[in-house]
Amino acid sequence: MKKTSAARSRPVLGFPAPASRPLLLGMVHVQALPGTPSAHLPVPDIVGMAVGEAELLIRSGFDGIILENMHDRPYLKGAVGPEITAAMTAVAVGVRQALGAMAPIGVQILAGANREALAVALAANLQFIRAEGFVFAHTADEGWIEACAGDLLRERRRLGADHIKIWTDIQKKHSAHAVTSDLTMTDWAHGAEFFQADGVIVTGSRTGAAADEAQLREVKQACRLPVAIGSGITPDNAHRFAEADAWIVGSWIKQDGLWENPPDPRRLQAMVAAARLLRES
């Protein structure tokens, strides 16, 4: 018999959850955008590749999509140029048109370009953004990342974009947190909730690294926000994160499990099957 508790049926990302959680979100790593070191494709080709990946994910049974400019490495810190915002908007509009009005779609623009992500989401009718550095500061690959909740929520209000959800990483991967070493995950979750995030994301230490299920339990107990797992989900470890409200899956579903490769249809099917098994248990 399917579980139908209130916790499992509450909305996620502003949408009704599936029969039971987790909401399964696939990461589309958009090809390198104009002006970045690895750029080599015209924007229409970049859009076409992103649309193709997003359609494959949805056909395979994923519930929604996140668009991310991960191929733009090394990343700028806290802001990007208008060419990146414009290109990501073209990608987001293309994906939205391909998937229809109701499919959950979000966007992240690295590194910490949260205002630009919000603008893209508004222009393309996306439901959410993934924001870095929302509360507390940390040291990332790009340098010192300052908290941005005050500015970002004021920008959301100025744009009339309060319907766009803001999900934020806490103790973000690829970062050092010595400056906040006296804070627990409970403290991070309280901070995100107090500063009016719409959801929080728990990750491992790097891309593809599994999160700690004890941290998931701690964050779930510490706040009333939806909690997503943002790295390292595989069919083999999925049962450890069954209590998450959403899974964000990027690396494992690619060929050979490498984020820079195209999606592997067999891995997509295996990931969807793992989510369905938990929903039906």
Annotate the chain with DSSP letters as a single string.
-----HHHHS-BTTB---SSSPEEEEEEEPPPPTTSTT--S-HHHHHHHHHHHHHHHHHHT-SEEEEE-GGGPSPPSS---HHHHHHHHHHHHHHHHHH-SSS-EEEE-TTT-HHHHHHHHHHHT-SEEEESSSSS-EEETTEEE---HHHHHHHHHHTT-TTSEEEEESS-SSEE-GGGTT--HHHHHHHHHHTT-SEEEE--SSTTPPPPHHHHHHHHHH-SS-EEE-S---TTTGGGGTT-SEEEE-STTBGGG-TTSPB-HHHHHHHHHHHHHHHH-
Q: Report if residue 9 sits inside a domain.
A: no
Query: Which pLDDT score is estimated for 102?
Result: 87
Q: Report if residue 253 sits inside a domain.
A: yes
| Distance between CA atoms of residues 116 and 136, nearest Å | 20
Phi, psi (5° rounding) for residue 138? -155, 170
| Distance between CA atoms of residues 134 and 74, nearest Å | 21
Q: Report if residue 21 sits inside a domain.
A: yes
User: Hunting for tokens 């409200």 — which residue is that?
Assistant: 245
Q: What is the extent of the structural domain holding 214? A: 17-280
| Distance between CA atoms of residues 72 and 123, nearest Å | 21
Residue 24, domain CATH = 3.20.20.70
Q: Which residues of 92-127 are buried (b: 16+ CB within 10 A; e: fewer)?
A: bbbbbebbeeebbbbbbbbbbbbbbbbbbbbbbebb
Query: Which pLDDT score is estimated for 3?
Result: 39
Phi, psi (5° rounding) for residue 26? -100, 140
| Size of the chain in residues | 281
Q: Report if residue 213 sits inside a domain.
A: yes
| pLDDT > 60? residue 18 | no
Q: Report if residue 98 sits inside a domain.
A: yes
Per residue in 81-140, pLDDT (tens digit) is: 999 999 999 999 999 999 999 899 999 999 999 999 999 999 999 999 999 999 999 888
Share of the chain above pLDDT 70, in %: 92
Domains held by the chain: number: 1
Share of the chain above pLDDT 90, in %: 79
Q: 263: which strand partners?
A: 254
In degrees, rounded to 5, the angle at the alpha carbon of residue 111 between the alpha carbons of residues 109 and 113 is 55
Tell me what the mean pLDDT of segment 208-237 comes to. 93
pTM score: 0.92
Query: Which pLDDT score is estimated for 179?
Result: 87
Q: Report if residue 7 sits inside a domain.
A: no
Q: Report if residue 206 sits inside a domain.
A: yes
Annotate 130-170 with DSSP letters as a single string.
EESSSSS-EEETTEEE---HHHHHHHHHHTT-TTSEEEEES
Tell me what the mean pLDDT of segment 7-12 comes to. 50
Tell me what the mean pLDDT of segment 147-174 comes to. 93
Q: Report if residue 67 sits inside a domain.
A: yes
* CA dihedral (8, 9, 13, 18) positive or negative: positive
Per residue in 180-192, pLDDT (tens digit) is: 899 999 999 999 9
